[in-house]
Structures are given as structure tokens and as C-alpha cells.
Amino acid sequence: MSEVNLTKRKEKCENCTKQCNKKNSDDGAGSLQEKDEIGGQVNEGSQLLLSACLSCDGCLSDDENVKISQQSLEEVKHVLALNKKCDASKYKVLVASICPQSLPFFAVKFGMEVTEAAHKLCSFLKGLGVHYVFDTNLASGFSILECQKEFIQRYRRKHHDSHALPMFTSSCPGWIRYSERVLGSLVTPHICTARSPQQIMGCLVKDFFCKQQQKLSPDKIYHMLVAPCFDKKLEAVREDFYNSLLEARDVDCVLTSGEIFGLMEQRRVSVDELDSVPLDHVLGDSGDAVLMRHEGRVSEGFLEHVFKYAAKELFGLDVHEITYKNHRNRDFQEVTLERDGETLLQFAAVYGFRNIQTLVHRMRKGRVPYQLVEVLSCPGGCISGRGQAETMAGQLDKNLIQQMEEVYSSLPVHLPEVTPALHTLYHDWLQGQDSPQANMLLHTQYKSQIQSQTQPPHMQW
């Protein structure tokens, strides 16, 4: 990286208008923790959102900047334009996958219930030239099932593996980036290796759908994903998810809900005039794809699913209802399983940068009592992602978030364990739940990148 570019990045970070302690101290992570948590209290002056910081591009390498620039509406328009030229050598089948946390945004914006909003969105996307539109619930189901299985394995080896517990969830790319680039080996061995729903969806589209359903090479599919947060763009360009032989990514482009809605406004689309077009099935089934959600507050529900599964698998206890206890605030909550006065399991949901800092501080001191922690960088969880919940002034729209939470909660809950399509895919696509194919396509590895040349020295927190 050139000295000029490094200087520009340093200036950008130092002149950031957000309250960010890293730009005021060169003392490393330890001093930051001391500033942020004094006597058990988080410094209220630190208002930086982790997702906002990591997406500002101040800590991106030149190569990452080029890749991120391709995660744009302009790139999608370019692919659509090439398709219209009828050049067979450059023609691509366009697939759009929509995250379940994005659908409530469109429901609120369209002023209709979530299923009808999804059908209108599907109609708009297909009107642009998209061939197939899926939701990512199947991918979420895979991620949850693999997370459950890995937690049981880690729990059973906890006495001879110091890195087994606590296990941190891996679905949030902002949290993963922070872990790899800032926290390093303190945290990375504890991160669940199950791929996020986004990247499992990428495998479903580029490996199963294109090969078995379309009989195409992965490079002939252009896979676009609609997500609630900008950090999903960073996840899509990770080298782990790039096929160098075919020069194809599992997810070619991530657009936020806000970017899609902005395009609709730009084109002055009347939602009422759009047809109602059902979403497609990855398995090619006919009929309307029923929209579901997984258990949990407003994210993928990893904590609740793993908690109930572990209670049954490890202790033979059926848990029907989970009671959250606010530890510090609404974004730092605990769940406990007890029997005869003995604590058997203790999980936590930790959302937002300030709460993550508290968690890390305790991790450094060896005072984390939890076996599993669901970590998300956005306060309020995925539905509050800044790609859909931010006002024009750059503030979170609390009224919009509340409406989206209500819409999301209205979706019926579906358990991945009893989803026939998942069992079919495990058998037909992955050759079994514990096969080498399943391990390769549903898991990845996270490692410390603190010494990476792509991280400018002034970015050490």
C-alpha cells in the first residue's frame, strides 16, 4: 500500500465525525477497554456503531476497495445490459436471494403485509431482468443445524480443549471482521465454523441450483443478495468464498434493502401497479414459497435454537419457552437453564459495539460464564442494519425499526429440524449430514489477521 494512500486513510479515520476511541489512542485494545468500561460501566460517550466504522472503508486495502466497488447497483445494471445484447458468451442467469430481515422493511415501505410485499418485490426484480428470486430461509436452516451440531461437539470436549467454549456465532460479518483484524487469537478459535446464511445461500445457488437444477457452470450464474446491512458486502468478497478456477464468487453482489428501494424510487415505480409474483423454490417445486422465520428476536435465532437443542441433547430437558434476562440493557441479555438449583447452561445475546467491548474485556480477564454467545454488531440485531434502518441524516429510524420488528414477529416460526427440503438437500446434494461435501460447503475457518499487511498500523485498537 502506498504511503499516500495510508496517509489518506489515517486522515479519514482521525477526522471521522463519529465518537471513536481508536482515533484518539495508540495504546492498543487494552487501553480502549479501560476507557470503555470503568467499574463495570460502559462509557456512554462511545456511540460508535461497529458496522458504521468497519464500513467506512478507512481500514480497507486497495484490493478490498476495488472488490467493494463492484458490490453496487451499477454492476448489476452492467450485467443486465450485457444480457440484453444477446451475446451468448456473456449471458448470465440472474438469481436474487432476499434475507428474511429485509422483507419487513419492504412491507413497511409498501404499506402491506409481508407476503404480499415479498410478491411485489419479486415482481419488481423480475421486471428488471432477474430470472429467479429466492428467500434465504433454507440457508439459515442449514447454518442453524450445523451450529447446533458444532456446539454439542465443543461442549463435550470442553475439559480438554481450552478453545472449545465459549462458542461465538459467526453469522455477522461485522463481528467476524472485528474478531479477525482486531481481537485475533483471543477470539477466533472460539468462533463457530458454520458458514453464515448468506454464504450457504451462495453455495446453494452456485453449487446445487446451477449444477443440478440449471445444468450450468457457476460462472454462468450471477447471484445477487438483498440484505439489511452494508457489512454483508465485505463478507461476499472474502477470499474463502471465491472459486479461482472458475473466477466466480458464491455471492457476486450484495445490495442493501435501502439500495433496492432507492432504485424503485428512482424509477418511480408504483407498488400498486406491480403484479403479485410468488417467490421461487431452490428445489424447483411449484406453488408459492411460504415465508417463515426462525425462532429468536429479530435475527436468525441461533441462540434460541441451539439452547433448546442443547438442553434436550445434553440433559434430556424439553424447553418450550425461553426467558431473556436483561444483563446490562436490551442488547445484552442472558438465558439460563437450571435443574434443582444447578446452572446447566448459560447463553448470552450481545448486540452492538459497546456491549461487544464489554464482552471482550471480560474475555481478556477470563470472566465469561457463557457457553454460547450470539454476537451481532448492530444494536437491535440484523433488522436494525444500517442498510435499511438509517434516516437520510444518518440516524437510526426508531419508528421504522419498531414497525419492522412487529412485521417480523408476525411471520410463522418454522423449525429447521422438521423442514423436509433440508433433509432432501442433505441427502441429494451433500451426501449426508457428516459427509466431506457437507463439511466443505457448510463450514469455513476464521483466523487472526492482525499481522496482515492490509491493516494500517494506525488502526490497531
Residue 376 inside a domain? The answer is yes
Residues 271 and 341 in one domain: no
The pLDDT value recorded for residue 108 is 96
Number of domains composing the chain: 2
Q: Facing residues of 376 across strands?
A: 351
The pLDDT value recorded for residue 211 is 86
Residues 74 and 218 in one domain: yes
Pairing of strands 242-243, 221-227: unpaired
Last residue of a domain, one of 242, 261, 289: 289
Give the CATH number, domain containing residue 237.
Answer: 3.40.50.1780
Give the residue ranges of DSSP H helices in 268-387: 302-315, 353-364
Distance CA 184, CA 32 (A): 16
Residue 32 inside a domain? The answer is no
Residue 51 inside a domain? The answer is no
List C-alpha distances in Å: 233 to 43, 138, 403.
30, 21, 25
Give mean pLDDT in consecutive 10-residue pieces for the chain, a chain of 461 residues.
Answer: 41 45 41 36 42 53 70 90 84 94 95 95 96 94 96 96 93 90 92 95 93 87 94 87 76 95 94 94 74 74 94 95 86 94 94 90 92 92 89 85 91 88 94 93 89 42 33
Answer for the pair 7, 440: CB distance below 8 angstroms, yes or no: no
Residues 97 and 216 in one domain: yes
Residues 108 and 232 in one domain: yes
In eight-state DSSP terms, residue 285 is -
Last residue of a domain, one of 269, 289, 309: 289
Nearest to 16 by CA among 44, 57, 64, 45: 57
Residue 23 inside a domain? The answer is no
Residue 388 inside a domain? The answer is yes
Residues 97 and 227 in one domain: yes
Residues 187 and 205 in one domain: no
The pLDDT value recorded for residue 411 is 86
Residue 11 inside a domain? The answer is no
Q: Is 149 exposed, middle or buried (0-12, 13-18, 19+ CB in 10 A)?
A: middle
Residues 302 and 283 in one domain: no
Q: Give the global pTM.
A: 0.84
Residues 409 and 322 in one domain: yes
Nearest to 287 by CA among 421, 179, 390: 421
The pLDDT value recorded for residue 11 is 46
Residues 112 and 166 in one domain: no
Residues 238 and 131 in one domain: yes
Pairing of strands 248-249, 242-243: antiparallel
H or E element, residue 64: helix 62-69
The pLDDT value recorded for residue 64 is 66
Rg of the chain over Cα atoms, rounded to whole angstroms, equals 22
Distance CA 100, CA 118 (A): 10
Residue 190 inside a domain? The answer is yes
- How many helices, marked H, and strands, marked E, lie in the chain? 17, 13
Residue 25 inside a domain? The answer is no
The pLDDT value recorded for residue 182 is 87
Give the CATH number, domain containing residue 311.
Answer: 3.40.950.10
Answer for the pair 110, 270: CB distance below 8 angstroms, yes or no: no
Last residue of a domain, one of 233, 261, 289: 289
Residues 125 and 73 in one domain: yes
- The string of DSSP letters for 1-46 reads --HHHHHHHHHHHHT-SS--GGGG--S-HHHHHHHHEETTEE-TT-
Residues 215 and 361 in one domain: no
Q: Which domain holds residue 237?
A: 62-140+196-289
Answer for the pair 75, 82: CB distance below 8 angstroms, yes or no: no
